[in-house]
Structure formats: structure tokens, C-alpha cells
Amino acid sequence: MNVKEAAEYLGISIKTLERKIAGGEIAVAYVPGATGKQRTFDRSELDRFKDAQAAEAAATTYVARPRVAPVSSDATSPSQALERQASAEGMQAFALMVADALRGAQTPKMLLALTDAAEVSGLSASHLLDAIHDGRLDGRKIGRGFKIRPADLQEYAKQVWKDAPEYEKPKAKKLGNGLKVKASKA
């Protein structure tokens, strides 16, 4: 049996077969051929390898990771929690949102990726990145992305919402014909 036939028989690629040969997992015999030495495989050797792979696969136990639990429907969303940030209730809601987000993972996260931090805090990732670059938020570049400690994120969010001006709805202008036109923010 040649290399191509052996790979098809085992259900693996030729490249994988080459690695198994180099690793000594599959024995190969060399016979003289028209273009030099040709590799040949004994079917019993291939069957032995197949049985060993099947036994290894059966012995391997796969532990399914639990799915991330969604945040309960009665919990406040991150944006709603941040809207009430100035009050003590808002801070408690924000802390609960961070705790719920961290509890959803299999183990508590010690660092949040920039996208996770943006999702939890309700602030945009670009805003958080600017804050890291300006030194207002402690974050570190680890690998390809920035990581933020949850406690630092919470402190930064407190500061952002403490300094934020109160939001006022624009008042509508009344026209003579009874129609109302929204006022511009300018």
C-alpha cells in the first residue's frame, strides 16, 4: 500500500501520515521502485495504529464546560445602571452587573478584555481605550488587546458619571398653529 492509499485507509491527510511516520507511530518499509526507494505500508500495521487511536479516543474523557448563564431578566441592564450612577442605588446596581458578568464565566475573571469592559460598563470601547491612553483608566496591553481590572473599571465609571452634567430634555417650542417642534441641543 502506498502513501496515498494508507492515508485514505486511515482517514487522515498525507501530511498527518508523514508526521506519524516521523514520530515512529507508524512503521514503514522501503522497497526499490522505478524512481528510487518507495514506501510501503503493511495493512496489519495500519490496523494496529487505527486500534491504538480508537482506544486513545475512548480513554479520553471530555468534560463539557457549562454554558455561560445569562444575566437574569429582572436585573438592570448596564446602561440603565449607569444612568442612575450618581445615586447609591446606581452604584450598587453597577456592582451587581459587574458581579453577574463575572459570575457568568466558569471562574471569576481577574481581568476584563476591552470589549467585555465596554459591555459591562455601557461605555464604548473607544472611550475606554482613550481613557487608558490618557492615563485616566488603568489598563494594560496583554497580547493583542487591552485588559482592565473590574475594580479599576468601576472606579473609572464612578468618576465618569460623577463628573457628567445632568441630562435635560430639550423643550419643545410651541408654534401658533398648535404644532410643537423639538428644540435643537445647540
pLDDT digits (tens, 9 = 90+) for 10-34: 888 888 888 888 888 888 888 887 8
Burial of residue 184 (number of CB atoms within 10 Å: 0-12, 13-18, 19+): exposed
CATH label of the domain that carries residue 88: 1.10.1660
CB-based contact 90:77 (threshold 8 Å): no
pLDDT for position 61: 53
Whether residue 158 sits in one domain with residue 94: yes
Total domain count, the chain: 2
Whether 102 maps to a domain, the answer reads: yes
In which domain, by residue range, is 25 found?
Answer: 3-59
* CA 72/CA 49 separation, integer angstroms: 50
Q: Give pLDDT < 70 ranges for the chain.
A: 58-94, 99-109, 166-186
Whether 171 maps to a domain, the answer reads: no
pLDDT for position 85: 47
